[in-house]
Structure 1
């Protein structure tokens, strides 16, 4: 489905689309993190010559040496592309002169007031504007609030004197990477594209069709594409918030919330299963809805449902600590001085990303209440907590025997759940790791 079927392309757009379709274009990716590096690799695998840009010299060095640091990138793929000169990295933005299309994949964090910090995007666009030439496509992929592309990016790029839709082409296409997903990745996940003009949309769509196997869905504006990404993650945020609230209520009522959800999921229509947990993590679901909340204030609208869901999800680490205290109390032990072994610090199973992980505030609270804790995570060797680096430990029988309480915070596949079950004195499972199949007096769920 497309809104731009009758668009008549100008000569510059036709030339660029031809370069993209024939893989003769050189493409750039700004930001070589969890989104940018997989995208750069897929573009190079598709046959493009790719230049990756990043201000972190360490990332640039690792890419140029063919050393991978992102879980969703195959080491052999990166190595092959670098050594065949299909992919290189640089911190020098003058190389923007050499690219025909560039995707911006830089962080868009929130500040302490839960307001968007657009400095990374703004800085990247300003750097691009200094060196871009006529016939360049610029696409923002970073998650942001509706209006960013047209209100922030377009005015900066127009200062060059190049005309949007004629000389340069600007679009927004949200990243949809789900780290650790075995079925959907950068290559096969459908793409949404919205350009500042209809021609911009066509040019951007041509680039993604030349790279991806997934469908490319064209929308009428960047704002639509920006809003749909926020809808995706706000939908998940709110439904997870509902599942978490149900978990709290079911705990008070002595009902197993996972059994309730499994029963509800037997309905073949009108229900989609979401599950509770220790809180939300990652750079999308716990953050993206706040972009919408912030932007809504401009229109004198208060996003009550979104904010309530956020408050529920943000409160889950406190609920986990409450459950820890209750379980230790049943064992006639106080939180202060108890040994707590936390399994997992990554925000979801089988990945190494602990950004915004709900395990971090849980650990902060364990420290506050005097617990003696350690963390085991097969994917994370060390992590930063309150400004200090903390090393994880190996999961061993000895560590399990020493612990007064084992908290399964992230249900990594590598954990030996049979060993945990047979050895731990008490278990708090925040992820239903045993699929309702474990009945034991020392086993507890949220």
Structure 2
């Protein structure tokens, strides 16, 4: 049965789009080359860690959503949105393999007048220099003439109850003005506001700027955290005071590292496009270096605190609280908890964890013991480290029970714990 929309890639980008489309009454089919997410979805279960629950999935299915591994479904839709993962590869550049596979599957069945949209996070130039040739070669059609092509990078903030899919403006950059308007007509059914970029590269660069803005500012405040600790200054009070300034300042807060699906991208170091300027963004590179250093700094603070209380890291019982990258979410993508646990284990510590959203956690493929009773585990541990401040944690009560508490998020009351 034909559908209005095909979402290609049923992961952390594709499923929220499916949810929004079904809620808007759009007949939607979801395509993924991996049979596992499709099987999970058809059984009413969510295949990825994130804000969507099993009940959300069941509502989507009852609303007409059809997950499939049959690429034939792609030739029956008016709009196709590519939400393939684009992780960093071993060389720290964006891996476009999954995007290429999705493009080839769609191209073989692409019909005239279809609108093709790209939501995956990609470097500037990808829509025109990478996606467009694959679609044209595989279909025999011409983008901008026979079918519409546009980029509209995802702006999801998983678990955010204030800024939902509908209330977050959607940036759209089409290959031609007609492509932009076709994309705007589609997204206008899902969101309250669409923002038209000059073209695909401007839309792609918008995502790069937004992600790099976050990483650079987190790096700045992470460096401030280290400096303030060395100087005996309460950084958290400094931030509280600074954020009262009504202009020229936006508050960011330090932490044990930076996680999430959005990665800092330096378009000047990407070799696939001949038009890449070749001038690396030094600020972005430095920010990445600083943020990647934070797990090691947390380990240093752990060792110092234990030593000050007459204990060694070797043999110490360390309880890690919150192993996800965001509060009140099960998503562990790039969360610093795993590196911190690995380093502590290498130093001989006995690691346990507690997280209300993660019932099974593994480091180096080995299960980490999960605390059933949070307060009892904190009282028994030589050191408790708060890595993520889930809403369910009573931090004041925890500070009373824990022998020694390191708060990497500044979430405990002043004086109740050692803060980053």
CA offsets 1:362-394 (integer angstroms, 9 cap, x no match): 111101111111111111112343344545333
Give the secondary structure class of the aligned counterpart of 2:212: helix
Structure 1 position 306 matched with structure 2 position 280: no
Report the TM-score, using the length of structure 1 for normalisation.
0.89
Q: Aligned-pair distance for 1:328?
A: 0.2
Q: Which runs of 5+ in 1 are unaligned?
A: 1-23
Contact preservation (8 Å) 2:45, 2:53: no
Structure 1 position 320 matched with structure 2 position 298: yes
Q: Aligned-pair distance for 1:140?
A: 0.8
Separation (CA, whole Å) in 2 of partners of 1:396 and 1:387: 24
Give the secondary structure class of the aligned counterpart of 2:7: strand
CA offsets 1:244-283 (integer angstroms, 9 cap, x no match): 0000000100111111111111111111111100010011
Equivalent in the alignment of 2:106: 128
Structure 1 position 208 matched with structure 2 position 187: yes
Cα distance change of structure 1 residues 83 and 147 upon mapping to structure 2, 3 Å threshold: same
Equivalent in the alignment of 1:17: none
CA offsets 1:9-64 (integer angstroms, 9 cap, x no match): xxxxxxxxxxxxxxx96101011111111101111111111000112322112222
Structure 1 position 30 matched with structure 2 position 1: no
Separation (CA, whole Å) in 1 of partners of 2:345 and 2:90: 22
Separation (CA, whole Å) in 1 of partners of 2:231 and 2:190: 52
CA offsets 1:221-265 (integer angstroms, 9 cap, x no match): 100000010001101110110000000000100111111111111
CA offsets 1:331-372 (integer angstroms, 9 cap, x no match): 100111100000011012111111111111111110111111
Structure 1 position 172 matched with structure 2 position 151: yes
- Which of 268, 282, 295 does residue 260 from structure 2 map onto? 282
Cα distance change of structure 1 residues 164 and 294 upon mapping to structure 2, 3 Å threshold: closer
Contact preservation (8 Å) 1:143, 1:288: no
Give the secondary structure class of the aligned counterpart of 1:315: helix
Structure 1 position 334 matched with structure 2 position 316: no
RMSD: 1.8
- Which of 57, 69, 72 does residue 78 from structure 1 map onto? 57
Structure 1 position 40 matched with structure 2 position 14: no
- Which of 357, 361, 378 does residue 339 from structure 2 map onto? 361
Report the TM-score, using the length of structure 2 for normalisation.
0.95
Separation (CA, whole Å) in 2 of partners of 1:300 and 1:100: 38
Structure 1 position 157 matched with structure 2 position 135: yes
CA offsets 1:49-84 (integer angstroms, 9 cap, x no match): 100011232211222233335543354443233134
Q: Which runs of 5+ in 2 are unaligned?
A: none
Equivalent in the alignment of 2:160: 181
Equivalent in the alignment of 1:240: 218
Q: Aligned-pair distance for 1:398?
A: 2.1
Size of the aligned set, in residue pairs, is 415
Equivalent in the alignment of 1:102: 80
